[in-house]
Amino acid sequence: MSKIKILDRSTIQKIAAGEIIERPSSVVKELIENSLDANAASITLEIRNGGKDYIRITDDGHGFNEDDLKIAFKRHTTSKLNNIDDIYKIISFGFRGEALASISSVSRVEVLTKTENALHGIRGYVENEEILEMMPIGCPKGTTMIVKDLFYNIPVRKSFLKSNTIEANYISDIICRLALGNEGISFKYIKDNKVIFNISKDNDLLTNIYILLGREFADNMVAISFESSNISVRGYVSKNTFYRSNRNHQYLYVNNRYVKNYDITKLIEEKYKSIIPINKFPVYVVFIDINPSLIDVNIHPTKQEIKFLNFQQVANALDKAIDQTFNRILSIPEISIGKDKSKETDELPLLFEKAFVENNNLPVRGKKYEIEDSQDWFLKDFSDSIQDNTIKDHNDTELNINKINNQLNKIDKNPIFDSLKNSRIIGVLFSTFILLENAQLEKAFLIDQHAAHERILYEQYKREYESENVIIQPLLAPEIIELNNLDFEIVINNIELFNKLGFMVEEFSNNSVIIRGVPMLFGKPQIRSLFMDLADTITENIRSSYEVKSEKIMKIACTKAIKSGDNISDIEIQSLIDQLSKAKNPYTCPHGRPTIIEISKKDIEKEFSRIM
């Protein structure tokens, strides 16, 4: 007897449905996308008990006529495709004709629908892809889908569902993504007889961000926009002072479809690499509109993964969109003295519920410190400002200060420049934090001397490195460094890189090299320690990916900045402030930690109960 058997129809249906419908949120996603494809202008979602027992989705789309409804729940029936070629220019959310069939295979479905010119609507009951009953009914134009008793016929699958609260949170995530991605459509969400949000089709994207994600998100987002011949990028990205511990708040839409694309995620996060802390992630709501023939969405059953025919074109557009707005992304963190940051959370579920209930009027506050687009001061170069400097012992932490003011005066002024220039030095707290007062702005500023100097060195070194003009200080007493076999081979093979980084390195003898010069920018460092730090970084990168990350190398080199606890003079403090105010990004160190924070007089007065 043959061991291979042909599965019965019911088993095939349930297996196929399992690929599409994993939980109640899958039903919500598929049905709302159907409503969007039906050109609905208004969509209402209602769920009970986490969607396990009851899901209702009502829209005002074009509806089904009787002939279409009779076959709509059959597998692989669709109004979106005529042949295989249509897949490669698809603009609808759905196209495989699997969703309705899958839903009806694992639940009990009731449908009410009416087309615009029909005399009456139709009510139908559906199970296992078959319409059990159809009857005329009075109802408005559009479609209502009611899904009950999900997985009633697959007890094992039902047992894997989470609690009502968790399943409701998955649904909330889905409706949030769909509402954010479809500006110009009204969305109403009802959970267990409670209205969670009600979004008007007249809202702009920022207002929807406010309702769905909260005031804090809306206040800390910056608009981006770029358009070329066949691609456009728009949306909002977060400021450097606003980030999260995970990627839950990264929303990417391609032709209004929510998708996940690792390459785009990596590109955006790379932009934030040196302006937010390590292991933190930017927030964004980004839309990419592109010719459908240049993308492939038919690579996963959920259609959330996507491939680009020419990713580099997309990357260039996104890169330009963010670069054009980069100056406004940067801002100084404000301290609210009484705020307990330990209470902050990255939990995604139902973030918008509190925002909708408490903030129905939807005001959006003004921005913090920002640099206007018109200012191109950061493009200036003052690399020759250190040419006449004398190298001092690194442990004395003397800064390079000679002749820098002439260079600084050539650079356009900006808000932080004025704030710091008009501030007076009060002192240094704990031999680490420089305290400034600006009486005119009624604000105080705290500057982390290590983070600030690290930023200054990093940008100076990066400019010199990229222009292949790192200024080298010859050593009166060259230093010989012995290496093991592997490190010696790697250093010898990368001598050109070391030279570009400002180290005059030559092979000396077996397993040893001689260093005849070092970058002038770092003063007189502990040469062996700095060189080995760089050699170890090159070794690590080559072993893992066979390529050297210059950014990482420069960041390690910049750890040679003055340290917490180092004592610096008033002249050096003033030089540090002047150089920081002229940095391309004066707000964070290369690792993303803040260099400067501000405290308002009003906040201090509140702490002393001088004002309420």
Tens digit of each residue's pLDDT (9 = 90 or more) over 234-291: 999 999 888 988 898 999 999 999 998 899 999 999 888 878 888 889 999 999 999 8
Residues of the chain with CATH 3.30.565.10: 9-199
Q: How far is CA 19 from CA 55, 406, 551, in A?
A: 20, 67, 43
pLDDT tens per residue, range 329-367: 777 676 665 555 444 444 444 444 544 444 444 444 333
Q: Which residues contact 57 (CB under 8 A, 6 or more apart)?
A: 28, 31, 32, 35, 43, 44, 45, 46, 144, 145
Residues of the chain with CATH 3.30.230.10: 205-358
Q: In the chain, helix, strand, coil percent, each to 5?
A: 40, 25, 40
Residue with tokens 């557009």: 317
Q: Which residues pair with 557 in a beta bridge?
A: none
Report which of residues 180 and 95 the model is more confident about.
Answer: 180
Whole-prediction pTM: 0.66
The enclosing H or E element of 156 equals helix 155-159
pLDDT tens per residue, range 398-419: 344 343 344 434 334 455 667 7
State which fold the 9-199 domain adopts: Heat Shock Protein 90 (3.30.565)
pLDDT at 178: 96
Handedness of CA 116, 118, 120, 125 (dihedral sign): negative
- Per the CB < 8 A criterion, the answer to whether 373 and 327 are in contact is yes
Confidence of residue 292 (pLDDT cuts 50, 70, 90): confident
pLDDT at 238: 95
Residue with tokens 């650079």: 411
Q: What percent of the chain has pLDDT over 70?
A: 74
And the tokens for 128? 């296992």
State which fold the 375-612 domain adopts: formyl-coa transferase, domain 3 (3.30.1540)
d(Cα 93, Cα 106) in Å, to the nearest integer? 22
Residues of the chain with CATH 3.30.1540.20: 375-612
Residue with tokens 């240094």: 428
Return the closest-CA partner of residue 199 out of 257, 106, 190, 189. Answer: 189
pLDDT tens per residue, range 52-65: 999 999 999 999 99
pLDDT higher than 60, residue 87: no
Report which of residues 21 and 96 the model is more confident about.
Answer: 21
pLDDT higher than 80, residue 221: yes
**Count of CB atoms within 10 A of residue 511's CB?**
16
pLDDT at 80: 53
- Per the CB < 8 A criterion, the answer to whether 177 and 208 are in contact is no
State which fold the 205-358 domain adopts: Ribosomal Protein S5; domain 2 (3.30.230)
Q: How far is CA 399 from CA 391, 440, 522, in A?
A: 10, 29, 9
Comparing 533-542, 584-593, 595-604, the range with the smallest average pLDDT is 533-542
pLDDT tens per residue, range 38-55: 999 999 999 999 999 999
Highest mean pLDDT among 127-131, 209-213, 305-309, 556-560: 209-213
Query: Rounded mean pLDDT of 137-164?
Result: 94
Comparing 37-51, 53-67, 194-208, 377-391, the range with the smallest average pLDDT is 377-391
pLDDT higher than 90, residue 85: no
d(Cα 420, Cα 295) in Å, to the nearest integer? 49
pLDDT higher than 80, residue 201: yes
Highest mean pLDDT among 93-102, 156-165, 363-372, 381-390: 156-165
pLDDT higher than 80, residue 97: no
d(Cα 559, Cα 109) in Å, to the nearest integer? 63
d(Cα 552, Cα 497) in Å, to the nearest integer? 13
